[in-house]
Structure 1
Amino acid sequence: MKRLILLLFIVLVSCNKEQPTTFSEPANLEMLVGVDGTKITFREVLYKHKGKKILIDFWASWCKDCIVGFPKLNQLQKEFPDVEYVFLSTDFSQPSWKKGIKKYKIKGEHYNLPKGMNDGDLVEFINLSWIPTYMVIDEEGEIALFKATNITDKAIREALEDN
């Protein structure tokens, strides 16, 4: 009986489709590292783009799926030039992260999550278990698309088109 109740609980929790529309305070305070080595909170990054749509790409230089998706992401950048593109790398090696930006010619604003994809308040908030992961933030600073793992996901385009 206990197993049945536990199984039912797991099913109900996993079926919960409610997605957050704002970031938690700890996630907002997560420290990121800029390409130039400066530290900035995630909230400050979002604030820099206040009033604009933002596509956030969680990626790493060693991630094959991330690399394969860059040409399609470049196409989105051409189709939606007014969107801000923010790339959050989960690389532990900052030299590898910076080489990846140049090698794959990734255009946008770049930051590193120095704790990687398995630790930190921001990755915990979004339950980052796979990269690439994409999020869309609307002009009011709310989460329009909580999580997509494929750049061709139609929900990304819909969130970018939605006014």
Structure 2
Amino acid sequence: MKKITVLFIFILLSSCAKKEETVFSEKALKERLTMVNAHEISFQELLDAYPNKKIVLNIWASWCKDCIKSLPENQKIYEKYASDTGVVFVHISIDRSFNEWKNALKTYKLSGEQYFLKSGWDGDFGNFLQLDWIPRYLVIGENRQILVFNAITLQENVLDTTLKK
């Protein structure tokens, strides 16, 4: 009986593990993002806007306490890489509304590459990411391979290792 219980727990845990994707799905690439000026672009267009650069994606929302709590530490990391022209930080909000997101940008004095994902958790992009927790960070290489798929903290040591490859 004990062996059956252990086997059941192993199967249950392994079925819950996220698949570590290395390439974005076509559906995720077609997902629409809204810029601060209300202009929409696809996720593919966002990637194409940064040729030959590594991209660090931050998926967040203004209602997420962990996201807001991480802002000061993340800012230090952004500043560390600010002079590295081969790296760009992109922030994608899954706020409930465009106006909530715009207000949060002002409230928290956020700048940089900011986008709003209207479909939030449930769209093709969120489904591709198997999004179940934010903040969520990804690192995308120059060739658009996903180098880091499922990070819930922006750790300097992981970035240092990944971005210097």
**Is the TM value for this pair above 0.5?**
yes
Whether 2:103 is the aligned partner of 1:127: answer: no
Q: Note closer, same or farther for the CA distance 1:62–1:12 as it changes in structure 2 (3 Å cut).
A: closer
Structure 1 match to 2:60: 59
CA contact (8 A) 1:51 1:141 kept: no
Whether 2:89 is the aligned partner of 1:85: answer: yes
CA contact (8 A) 1:54 1:136 kept: yes
Q: Note closer, same or farther for the CA distance 1:153–1:123 as it changes in structure 2 (3 Å cut).
A: farther
Q: Note closer, same or farther for the CA distance 1:12–1:65 as it changes in structure 2 (3 Å cut).
A: closer
Deviation at 1:73, TM superposition (A): 1.1
Q: What is the one-letter code of the residue matched to 1:144?
A: L
Deviation at 1:49, TM superposition (A): 0.8
Whether 2:38 is the aligned partner of 1:37: answer: yes
Per-residue displacement from partner, 1:35-84 (whole Å, max 9, x unpaired)? 11111110110110121111111011111111111111111111112321
Q: What is the one-letter code of the residue matched to 1:107?
A: S
CA contact (8 A) 2:57 2:90 kept: yes
Structure 2 match to 1:20: 21
Deviation at 1:145, TM superposition (A): 0.6
Deviation at 1:6, TM superposition (A): 6.3
The whole-number CA distance in structure 2 between the counterparts of 1:91 and 1:15 is: 26
Q: What is the one-letter code of the residue matched to 2:128?
A: F
The whole-number CA distance in structure 2 between the counterparts of 1:142 and 1:152 is: 20
Residue of structure 1 aligned with 2:148, choices 132, 145, 161:
145
SS at match of 1:129: coil
The whole-number CA distance in structure 1 between the counterparts of 2:72 and 2:13 is: 37
The whole-number CA distance in structure 1 between the counterparts of 2:72 and 2:160 is: 15
Deviation at 1:153, TM superposition (A): 6.6
The whole-number CA distance in structure 2 between the counterparts of 1:124 and 1:156 is: 25
SS at match of 1:57: strand
The whole-number CA distance in structure 1 between the counterparts of 2:35 and 2:74 is: 21
Residue of structure 1 aligned with 2:108, choices 99, 104, 111:
104
CA contact (8 A) 2:61 2:95 kept: yes
Q: Percent identity?
A: 36
Q: Note closer, same or farther for the CA distance 1:97–1:15 as it changes in structure 2 (3 Å cut).
A: closer
CA contact (8 A) 2:77 2:156 kept: no
The whole-number CA distance in structure 2 between the counterparts of 1:149 and 1:156 is: 13
Uncovered stretches (5+) of structure 2, i.e. residues with no partner: none
Deviating more after overlay: 23-32 vs 94-103? 94-103
Deviation at 1:107, TM superposition (A): 2.5
Per-residue displacement from partner, 1:113-156 (whole Å, max 9, x unpaired)? 10222x11111011110110011111221111111111237423
CA RMSD of aligned residues (A): 2.1
Structure 2 match to 1:73: 74
Q: What is the one-letter code of the residue matched to 2:32?
A: M
